A and B are shown apart, each in its own frame.
Chain A
Amino acid sequence: MKKLTIAVTGLNNTDNPGPGVPVIRSLRESDYFDVRIIGLAYENLEPGIYMDNIVDKVYSVPYPSTGTETLLKRIKYINSKENIDVLIPNFDAELFSFMKSANKLEAIGIKTFLPTLEQFEERHKSNLSDFGEKYGVKVPKSKTIFNQSEIYSLSNDFSYPLLVKGKFYDAFVCYNSEQVLNHFNKLSSKWGLPVIIQEFVQGTEVNVVALGDGEGNTIAAVPMRKQYITDKGKAWAGITLSDKNLLELTNKIIAGTKWKGGMEVEIIKTTDNNYYIIEINPRIPAWVYLAVGAGQNIPEALVRLAIGEDVEAFTNYEVGKMFVRYSYDIITDINKFQLLATTGEI
């Protein structure tokens, strides 16, 4: 088996879980690779740092908000020690920095498999209306607002309830302009501007995890319905579905955009069987291990594409496969924590 060193972010396996730990579990189950995993942590208490058989080594990395150059400098240092083959970033907020640095990373031998900047930008929540029009898919009506004064004229274009969404994360259903104002202030201070106003489409939310090869082909796609949702809107249990319409919609998006990399498509299925795309996340989601359990090891396929291998598209997966998350207390020594806090690596 080929030996690879893979760096992964998103070790925050909390109640708002990052995809790092499930990505690592998937790679450790690979039939193609024998992996050495380098965890890249933004916080010293990300649970993935302390879990058994997850990371071989951990380095702390600076937040993307400190600037791409600072992040790149740290990655170069880590690479000088670890000789990284592939890097898999797992946070929306860091993707821009890694996409921008893809060529520089490649120059030092680190491969990535990320969407292009154009693909990243056009699927952005604030551009979803144009995206729907361009690729011929249904999306809820949406509008970006930059100023509180725009809130009171929203009723000209929208009827209540409507959704108020942060630039990167969080969404709230609002029933009047006062609630919109309240969430506008919270979201803009947390995630910055703009804030997105979106038509509230009634129906069942279903999600698809998928992988595009950058040439317009869907390499993998598994649809899932959340069965248990936390108060943060995260799936705590889910089940794979066999809805062909969801797969066709995903194929259409990947073919149209020539999507490169992992993605999660969030869709509302209405009672009259219309499918509205409410969000496209440009990375592997935290529930990706369900797809692996159902027969499609998406992180493994992504790494194979990153290192330039030809990967055949998956044609099947098991329907009715479920995942159920749990929380668990790890007892660990303060030594690990203090080492990471003081030296930035363990």
Chain B
Amino acid sequence: MKIRNDLAISETGFVFDPITGESFSLNQIGTEIFNLYKEEKNQSEIKKIITDKYDVSEAELDKSLIDFEGMIKEYNFIQK
């Protein structure tokens, strides 16, 4: 899954979609995951990075990642 190149994200997690003009705020972990997707890391790489860094079970992370990906798709953030 590749995030669109034209989406800008600030250090504080503010995402601006220049096509629709919509903006979104991500929390710290959301920002980290969003940036990992932008770096074209796959899901297992993202899982490893996050579980190495944070105290989170794989099952809990799986659920959160599915939700996050669903949201990314819903907002058309995926590169076509």
- B-contacting residues of A (Cβ < 8 Å)? 204, 206, 224-225, 227, 239, 241-243, 269, 319-320
Task: Give the number of A-B contacts (CB < 8 Å).
Answer: 21
Contact B8–A241 (Cβ < 8 Å): no
Beta-carbon nearest neighbor of A223 in chain B: B21
9 contacts between A and B (CB under 8 A): A206-B21, A227-B21, A239-B21, A241-B18, A241-B19, A241-B21, A269-B20, A320-B8, A320-B18
Q: A206-B21, A225-B21, A227-B21 are in contact. Are A242 and B6 (CB under 8 A)?
A: yes
Known: A239-B21, A241-B18, A319-B18. 18 other contacts (CB 8 A): A204-B20, A206-B21, A224-B21, A225-B20, A225-B21, A227-B21, A241-B19, A241-B20, A241-B21, A242-B6, A242-B18, A242-B19, A243-B19, A243-B20, A269-B20, A320-B8, A320-B16, A320-B18
Chain B, Cβ-Cβ closest to A271: B76
Q: How far apart are B22's CB and chain A's nearest CB, in angstroms?
A: 8
Total contacting residues, chain B, CB less than 8 A? 7
Looking across the interface, which residue of chain B has its beta carbon closest to that of A244? B19
Chain B residues within 8 Å of A204, by CB: 20
Residues in chain A near residue B16, CB distance under 8 A: 320
A242 to B19, CA, bound (A): 5
Q: Ordered nearest first, which 6 A-B pairs have the shortest CB separation? A: A225-B21, A242-B18, A319-B18, A243-B19, A239-B21, A241-B21
B20-51: which residues lie under 8 A (CB-CB) from chain A?
20-21
B residues near A224, Cβ cutoff 8 Å: 21
CA distance A108 to B20 in the complex (A): 46
Q: How far is the CB of B72 from chain A (nearest CB, A)?
A: 17
What's the Cα separation between A160 and B20 when bound, in Å? Answer: 27
Q: Tell me, in angstroms, the Cα distance from A241 to B19 when the chains sit together.
A: 5
**With A and B bound together, what is the CA distance between A176 and B18 in angstroms?**
37
In the complex, A241→B21 CA distance in Å? 6
Please report the C-alpha to C-alpha distance between residue A202 and residue B38 in the assembled complex, in whole angstroms: 32
Q: Kindly list chain A residues whose C-beta atoms are within 8 Å of the C-beta of B18.
A: 241-242, 319-320
Q: How far is the CB of A250 from chain B (nearest CB, A)?
A: 15
Name A227's closest neighbour in chain B (CB-CB).
B21
Complex-state Cα separation, A220 to B19, whole angstroms: 18
What's the nearest-Cβ distance from chain B to residue A187, in Å?
30
CA distance A204 to B6 in the complex (A): 20
